Amino acid sequence: MNKSEIYDYINQYPHVDREKIKMAWNGKRGLAFFDYNQTLRGNVIVKVMEEPNIHNAQLIRDLFSQEADWSSKSLSYRYYLTEMLEWLILNDFEASSEVISDSFRNNHSAIKCFYDLTISDEQINNIIDQLTHINKMTSKDHNYQHIIDELKNTIVVRDDHMKQKKAFDQYVTERDKVHVAAKKNFIQFLKEGEMTYIALFILIPIVLVFGYYFYGLNVLIGMIPMAIAYVTLYVIFLIVKFIIR
């Protein structure tokens, strides 16, 4: 399908060939796994989720159901699943709750998409309250407890993630304070030592002149390596000072 045909398919749904978006599994797993409709279904999902509206709710529900089935067979899930789940929860939950429940029943691969939801904890808790109320009037074989459990786990995982992030940020802040203090102390050390280096740098030629005048050329030659070493150290000192500024 080209873009125009995909838009026509979306606008005319469900009065189109619904088999085109259904899971068409080859019966194999691992690297040999293949769903003959996965590319087309993915393209339809991308287009319909660009500007989803309530008129597309049935299509989104059907796409969601097929993607959840894809996750069950492939033992993974595509990001589309979370995007559709979140839209259905916020915009079509009353009509979609049963589809969501059936899609995630014993589907451990797809259930992971709950942890990528971006809706607030308050919204999640409202959904939990709704499902808990429904459960009281539903048989155990067709209740929503598995969805309730995963929504609760989502909040727990978020809270744990925030605690870890807070602890890491605090560690980085404390580490940076130590680094800044060490750099500050080192700069202060360089500043205090700079005058000493300058004074010695001025004294070197004087010492060389006096050495030559009083002790001759041999002493002067012996002092030259020491002078070169000192000049080298001073150059290194200046380079370090420039780098850490």
pLDDT (0 to 100) of residue 49: 93
**Domain assignment present for 42:** yes
Residue 112 is part of which domain span? 3-119
| DSSP 8-state symbol, 106 | T
**DSSP strands (E only) in the chain:** none
Are 89 and 124 within 8 A, CB to CB?
no
Res. 182 pLDDT band, cuts 50 70 90: low
Model-wide pTM > 0.75? no
pLDDT (0 to 100) of residue 21: 93
Residues 31-70 have pLDDT tens digits of 899 999 999 999 999 999 998 988 899 999 999 999 999 9
User: Both 23 and 104 in a single domain?
Assistant: yes
For residue 63, give both structure tokens: 């796409």
Number of domains within the chain? 2
pLDDT (0 to 100) of residue 34: 92
**Domain assignment present for 96:** yes
**Domain assignment present for 159:** no
CA pair distance 231, 239, nearest whole angstrom:
12
For residue 185, give both structure tokens: 């102390």
**Domain assignment present for 165:** no
Cis omega (within 30 of 0) for bond into 225? no
Q: How many residues does the chain have?
A: 245
pLDDT (0 to 100) of residue 191: 61
Res. 187 pLDDT band, cuts 50 70 90: low
CA pair distance 208, 206, nearest whole angstrom:
5
Domain end point (choices 92, 119, 146): 119
Indicate if the pLDDT at residue 20 is higher than 90.
Answer: yes
CA pair distance 150, 192, nearest whole angstrom:
62
User: Both 7 and 115 in a single domain?
Assistant: yes
Indicate if the pLDDT at residue 25 is higher than 70.
Answer: yes
The residue among 10 and 188 whose pLDDT is bigger is: 10
Q: How many CA atoms lie within 13 A of 241 on its CB side?
A: 15
User: Both 9 and 83 in a single domain?
Assistant: yes
Q: Is the dihedral of CA 149, 123, 61, 144 positive or negative?
A: positive
Q: Is the dihedral of CA 162, 163, 166, 167 positive or negative?
A: negative
The mean of the pLDDT values for the chain is 81
Query: Three-state SS for 17?
Result: coil
CA distances from 210 to 203, 217, 221 (A): 11, 11, 13
What one-letter code names the amino acid at 186?
Answer: F
pLDDT (0 to 100) of residue 185: 65
**Domain assignment present for 94:** yes
Residues 154-177 have pLDDT tens digits of 888 888 877 887 888 887 788 777
Neighbours of 153 (CB within 10 A): 13
CA pair distance 131, 154, nearest whole angstrom:
15
pLDDT (0 to 100) of residue 150: 86
